[in-house]
Amino acid sequence: MDPRGQKHLLGRPEQGILPMDIWFNLVLFVHLVALVVGAATNVVMPVIGGRLAKMPPEMRGEFGAIAGRLSRNSQIALGLLVITGIIMVALRYGGLEGASPWFIAKLVLVGLLGVVLVAARVIPPARFNPRVFGMLVRLALLGIIFCAVMAFN
Ligand code: HEM
């Protein structure tokens, strides 16, 4: 209701267009959609990668392009996860003070995931097995989701 007693479809006017909880939920929604995109890519990539190596060269180009598109999507998803995560912390918690150990562990794992992803770009594949990178990324992702569930439930 607004001060004149009229219902406001988008929330209470004194709180802005939408109440803060709804903003938070919308950002959490984007956070979780980004998680779906990032996680799905991480499940699909090893399947494509495994087949790619055994494919005849004429098919490799098309599948390589698909793999490239998917890994671009997962990079965008990771960026969105970090941005929306920071927005949620700012909106609801106002910073990291008083954060639970599970939440800190989640952030440490996000940092490690970032390091692994940068290393995968910098270190040539001949010096480090890309499969090991893939495993590390999947392990970090599982750990992050576990810590998030423990932290917020
Ligand atoms: C790979 C990166 C990330 C993944 C996979 C991830 C995963 C998740 C998941 C699964 C949830 C839902 C937890 C639940 O409600 O049970 C969640 C919520 C949340 N995440 Fe993330 N997250 C990531 C990065 C981040 C970052 C970098 C931050 C902060 C800087 C962050 C802050 C939050 C917050 C504040 C919530 C919601 C808390 C609440 O409901 O009160 N996340 N995340």
Q: Tell me the torsion sign for CA atoms 10, 15, 20, 21.
A: negative
Q: Is the pLDDT of residue 11 over 90?
A: no
Closest atom of ligand 1 to 113 CA is: 1
pLDDT at 47: 87
35 pLDDT band, cuts 50/70/90, is very high
Q: Distance from the CA of 142 to the center of ligand 1, in angstroms?
A: 12
Of 101, 136, 100, 104, which is closest to residue 117 (Cα–Cα)?
136
63 pLDDT band, cuts 50/70/90, is confident
Question: Which tokens sit at 143?
Answer: 């750990």
86 pLDDT band, cuts 50/70/90, is very high
Cβ 105 under 6 angstroms from ligand 1: no
